[in-house]
Amino acid sequence: MQKAHHMLLFGCSLPGSDEVIWDCGDMTSAGPNFQRAPVCIGQPSILYGWGRDAPDFYLPEGVGFKVGGNTGIQYLVLQVHYKKKLGPDYSGISIESTVGLLAKRAFDLDLFFFVLPSTYMDAQTNLETFETACIVDEDIEIHPFAFRAHTHRHGEKVSGWVVRENQYGQDIWELIGERNPLLPQMFESVNKNITIRQGDV
């Protein structure tokens, strides 16, 4: 983490600028030498994230992100946020591509805390807890194989769960994974077979 604090790979219909390098304005100013523009024009899709000295991550064999064609992703934009200015930088990612079909499609599911309807403070431990949820409303199957926790400097533990009703109408919670976001922000493997379906939370 001497140079890059974290990196995000975005899929865009159009990049935010025609420049090779520009200031996305998301964290701090990159200085007067760079044009200021958004990462993407239109809605960006986060494909990959790395942070805090995490090790390399490889998708499982036969899994890939679908880009190009009618996917809405015509450009890949790598956003790099720096902890401090330290001269030359060789941060980046390596990508393998194919025009053939792969057995399974990867995607990145991000939960952001812009609205926090379920926030509470434990008076005894002085810990604040934030909860968010979304219902899977598409007729798809999701098989989580890895997760990554990122809270900048604010969090101590991030947990991901899938919640589904059993035959008696009771909510059954299954832990996907949890990690301290202050550790290297690697993709942690999900060490069990979980299938998320339409109607699950």
Is 150 known to sit in a ligand binding site? yes
Sign for the CA dihedral angle at 29, 49, 161, 135 comes to positive
SS3 letters for 152-172?
CCCCCCEEEEEEEECCCCCEE
Is 152 known to sit in a ligand binding site? yes
Pairing of β 104-105 and β 63-64: parallel
- Digit-by-digit pLDDT tens for the chain (201 residues) are 457 777 888 889 999 999 888 888 766 665 667 888 888 998 888 888 777 667 777 777 888 888 888 888 899 998 887 776 656 777 788 888 888 887 777 655 544 443 344 555 566 766 777 777 788 888 888 887 777 776 766 677 888 888 998 999 999 999 888 888 777 666 777 888 888 888 888
Is 143 known to sit in a ligand binding site? no
All domains of the chain in start order, with CATH: 1-108 (2.60.120.310), 109-200 (2.60.120.230)
**Nearest CA among 80, 20, 75, 19 for reference residue 43:** 75
> Two tokens at 89?
């930088």
Rounded CA gap, 187 and 158, in Å? 13
Contact 103, 66 (CB under 8 A): no
